[in-house]
Amino acid sequence: MLNINLNGHLALVSGASGQLGRVIAPTLASCGADVAVHYHRNRKKALEVRDLVRGLGRRAEVFKADLKKPAEVKALQKEVGKRLGEVDILVCNAVSQIQWKTVLEQDLRDYEDQFRTNLMQGVLLVKAFVPSMKAKGWGRVIGINTECAIQCLPGQSAYASAKRGLDGLFRVLARELGPSGITVNQVAPGWMISAYHREKAQQDAEYRKGVPLQRRGEDKDIANAAAFLASDLAAFIHGVYLPVTGGNVMAAI
């Protein structure tokens, strides 16, 4: 019988107060992991996520940090270590929202924002938390990417270019960290149904037409994929960009 067992592990979920993070964190906890709940602005939701994790019998604390700032990421690492211990499952999930416009119309500041949020978040978090994984000889680094990195549709330039940068970073990391017993993988969500979408009517008929499964996925689908990649069931899965999109995009060989 297969079982996702994360007992004895500590996960840090960046952006754990966000639409996907608030489901990823308790899902990892339901598999046995303790969780460091990171947030930037939404402390109320972060506390709710913490309480969900604790309700599952796991340890959890909330940590505030602006992941664009190296000093705050270093402080985050120290505080997590002091309050919970050494992280060995790192989920890079935080994201910032911008209005999508054409390349000619997109403000240059939006590109800078997306670069720092989507790509540099990964760089800074890895630099802060991976050294202890190397010392332990075991670790999981999981990036939440996007189907947009394959689509590259009009209006996606700032977001997609930053996420494609994240993909390059994680492919290099997979080669660099593999010898240390650390797997590095990415989960690429499609347009998932999350709490936000459940509360609002969505005009998604055109999107669903392009999905072979003819529906949108759920936030839980992303959380399940992250939990699997964090587990020993995925011990030989490495360097993967995994679309969880119902077939809306398919990674080429």
Q: Which residues pair with 89 in a beta bridge?
A: 11, 140
Structure tokens at 98: 């911008």
What is each CA distance from 37 to 42, 88, 202, 241, in whole angstroms?
A: 11, 14, 29, 24
Residues 6+ apart with CB under 8 A from 41: 17
d(CA 219, CA 97): 17
In this structure, are residues 72 and 121 in contact, taking their beta carbons and an 8 Å threshold? no
Tell me whether residue 241 is exposed, middle or buried, using C-beta atoms within 10 angstroms of its C-beta: 0 to 12, 13 to 18, 19 or more.
Answer: middle
Helix (H, G, I), strand (E, B) or coil at 63: strand
* Positions marked catalytic: 159
The residue to which tokens 């007992």 are assigned: 7
Quote the DSSP letter at residue 214.
S
Q: What is the DSSP letter of 15?
A: T
Q: How far is CA 170 from CA 123, 129, 158, in A?
A: 9, 15, 19
